Amino acid sequence: MALNEGPFHSHDFTKLSVRDAYRILVASIVPRPIAFVSTVDENGVTNLAPFSFFNGVSSNPTCIVFSCSRMPDGSKKDTLRNIEATGEFVVNTSEEAIAEEVNAASAAYPHGVSEFAIVGLTPLASTWVRPPRVAESAIHMECRLEKIVEIGEDSPGGSSLIIGRVLGMHVADRVLAEGEIRYEKLKPVARLGRDEWLRGGEVFRLRRPQIAAHDLPADRPSEKK
Ligand SMILES: Cc1cc2nc3c(=O)[nH]c(=O)nc-3n(C[C@H](O)[C@H](O)[C@H](O)COP(=O)(O)O)c2cc1C
């Protein structure tokens, strides 16, 4: 239930349903990049699923994190089960050209069924880990499990934060210009709230500010150099 605080709707998250809290959260943290995660189970069967609670978190060691929530019945998703069993995964980029396939791979197929074949994407052998990469994605991050941080209980909405150490990356020539990865060439898609996605957008540049001595307040002479 929303309170009215002047021009704001204010939501007390201690009283909100899990569903309502989720809806407000995902519409507020936007746009979210989508990790397209490939794993294998203990028998080598491949699995593929998208995760938008995803980001880079450290550069030394280079680590990424994504969040894998519990299923509505409280059980673990295949991606988490596979990573717990093998300690390895690959994060592939989600781009405009494969947005339909990324979305299709999010269907709850039973354990042991490979989304690669079902959604029509091509497995490509990895260099440092067993799970294959997605050939159609332009960027692949081969990861070894660093740590799993549990959030909440084994209940709907409870999640495992999967932190992966990036062992190596592959970047397709087609997204490079002068050796740099270019957003305009990568054409990533991102998640918004509801069932909305984002593509495109306007790129602009800002220089990082440099603090000059004359910018500091006069009453803090010790910080002047
Ligand atoms: C764009 C997109 C983003 C998603 N982000 C997440 C997420 O961050 N965390 C999560 O647990 N599920 C997320 N899902 C749902 C999973 O992809 C879905 O539960 C999938 O079936 C899990 O597959 P698995 O059981 O093979 O691991 C997302 C789905 C889509 C389409």
Q: Which atom of ligand 1 is the closest one to the Cα of 82?
A: 27
Q: What pLDDT was estimated at residue 116?
A: 95
pLDDT of residue 190: 98
Query: What is the residue type of 23?
Result: R
Mutate to test the pocket of ligand 1, among 77, 118, 197 (most ligand atoms within 8 A of CB): 77
Chain CA centroid to CA 45, Å = 22
pLDDT of residue 224: 47
- Alpha carbon dihedral 194, 198, 201, 206, in 10-degree steps, equals 70
48: Cα separation from own chain's centroid: 13
8 A C-beta contact, residue 134 and residue 36: yes
Please give the pLDDT value at position 225.
Answer: 47
Predicted confidence at residue 137, as pLDDT, reads 98
* Secondary structure (DSSP) of 13-43: TTTS-HHHHHHHHHHHS-SEE-EEEEEE-TT
The residue nearest atom 24 of ligand 1, judged by CA position, is 78
pLDDT computed for residue 39 by the predictor: 98
Domains identified in the chain and CATH numbers = 1-30 (no CATH), 32-223 (2.30.110.10)
Q: Measured from the CB, is residue 191 less than 6 Å from ligand 1?
A: yes
Which residues of the chain register pLDDT less than 50? 224-225
pLDDT on residue 212: 85
Count helices and strands (H / E) in the chain. 5, 16
pLDDT recorded at residue 112 = 84
Report the pLDDT value the prediction gives residue 1, as an integer from 0 to 100. 61
pLDDT of res. 220: 62
Substitution site in 64, 83, 106 for ligand 1 pocket (most atoms within 8 Å of beta carbon) = 106
Residue nearest to atom 18 of ligand 1 (CA): 106
**Ligand 1 neighbour 82 (Cβ under 6 A):** no
Give the chain's end-to-end CA distance (angstroms, integer). 53
**How far is ligand 1, taken at its centre, from the CA of residue 173, in Å?**
29
CB 78 near ligand 1, within 6 Å: yes
CA distance 33 to 201: 14
